Every structure is written in structure tokens, then in C-alpha cells.
Amino acid sequence: MLGPSDSAARTSARFVCDFEPGTLISALIGEVRVGACHTVVDTGAGYRLRVGFMCGRYALPVDRDALGIYYEAWARDTAELAPNFNVAPTSSAYVVDEKGENRKLRVVSWGLVPRWAKDTSMQAKMINARSETVSEKPTFRDSFKESRCIIPALGWYEWQRAETSKTPFFHKMDSEPFVSMAGLLSAWKNPSTEEWLFTCAIVTRPAIDSLAYIHDRMPVLLEPKDFSLWLHGTTSEADALILKQPSGIQAYEVSSLVNATKNNDPTLLTPVNG
């Protein structure tokens, strides 16, 4: 709930939303804390801002081998994750990576840590990369140029916000078993332990008209015929894929149980009115 200076807070929230979560927010406003579908910002002036960003949760209750078959990726030596109906920032997740002719399913942590980072303190705020600036922002530009990936999901959650409430919706494809989100991959070496941490971020774009009533952003979605081009095409080819208009997406309201990460079971996908 917004406190004093209500109208000013709303104006600031719209301003902050123009940036990737965590890039400039800390410097401009103060402490940032990631929540279910928003970031809580402590302004230090007696009130807090709730800054929404997309995509903050998704579902992947699918086994490793099924993903390997669908994406034609080597998966046998990939660690097997438990089904997850409520994937949250910094959770372990699958991505599809391709080097040369070798396409592989890999387990990474969601929230990109660039290779030049001193530590992982900003990881939870780097779950999304705006397509409009992905080739320019220092955090993401190297990965966009050199290390793109696909982040598979059964679908993603988004919250429709009103003055006093937020309503979760689940988004999935009509004709494909998975949502294939355009992603970025990074490898970061811990300077203390010399261990490698592989991380990812979802590339986002303005929502298509049919989904904009829920949220103004959505993931960049890839068609199967474009997988290879996204994974190892030129940046110009990747830019062209970002501009393609996705279709065949259905969205429906689900329970607010998804708001809490402790809730993680198939009932999160059940339509409220179904």
C-alpha cells in the first residue's frame, strides 16, 4: 500500500519501470527488494514503491528427457530438476544452449550475473532484459552478442494490478507443449572459490494487444523453426526475431496461492473460473 505522497509515488513507479530491475533503481531511489510480481523500493522518505516487472514467475513441471526430445538437445548428462510449478528468481532452471552443432540442455540459475561482476548480490534483480536496450546495457550486451539461449516453460505467470489488488494469470501456448522464451546465458567465475556459476535472463518485449490488459510486458517467444537462428544467428537476425509478433497464446486467471513461493503444486495452474 502506498503511503504519503501517493501521486508522486505512482509517478516515480512509472519512471522506474523504464529500466531493467536493479540497474539504476538502487542508485536513484534506494533499497530494492524483489517480490512475487513486483519490486518493493524503500525510498527513505516515509513510503515505499511497488515497481512491477515481467516476467517474475513461470512453471516448468516437465522432466529433463521430455525437454531434450522437444528441443532436440542432449540431456542425458544434465542434472534432473524436480517439477517446479512456481519458478522464482535465483531458482535452478533449464535452458537450451547451442555451441557449434552441439545443442544441450543445461541447468542454470535464473537471474543473470555478468562475467565482470564482483559478486552475485544483484542476481535476483537481473531476471529480465528489455529487448529495446538488450544490445546496449552493460549487464546484457555481451550475452546478447555471444551467448543466447532458450528458456523453456509450460507457461508464465503475470499479475494484473488494480488500485488495491493484484490478480495472477497464467499464460500458455495453444498449439505447442512449451513456451520457448528467448534468453541470455552468462558464465561467472567466483573469485574466491574459482567455481563457475551459470545464469540466465529472459528477454522481454511490449505485450501484444490481446495480453496488454494484464500487463504491459511479456517474454520474447520463439517458434521452433527459429530456435537455431536465435541460438547462433547474428545479432541482426536475433533483433528480427524479437520484432516478430507472437500469436496463439491463451491466458486465464489462477489462484493467488502462486504469490507465495512456498506454494508449488499442480493446483497453481487450475483456472479460477474453470
Q: What is the DSSP string of 2-50?
A: --SSHHHHHHHHHHHTTS-TTTSHHHHT-EEEE-SSEEEEE-SSS-EEE
| Largest CA-CA distance found in the chain, in angstroms, rounded | 57
Which residues are part of the catalytic machinery? Answer: 55, 158
Q: How many other β-carbons are positioned within 10 Å of the β-carbon of residue 174?
A: 8
Place of cell 539504476: 24
Q: DSSP character for 74?
A: B
Q: Which parts of 72-217 fold into alpha helices (H)?
A: 141-146
Q: Which parts of the chain fold into alpha helices (H)?
A: 6-16, 25-28, 64-71, 141-146, 227-232, 235-243
On the CB side of 254, CA atoms within 13 Å amount to 26
248: helix, strand or coil: coil
Cβ neighbours of residue 222 closer than 8 Å, sequence gap 6 or more: 150, 180, 181, 182, 230, 241
On the CB side of 57, CA atoms within 13 Å amount to 27
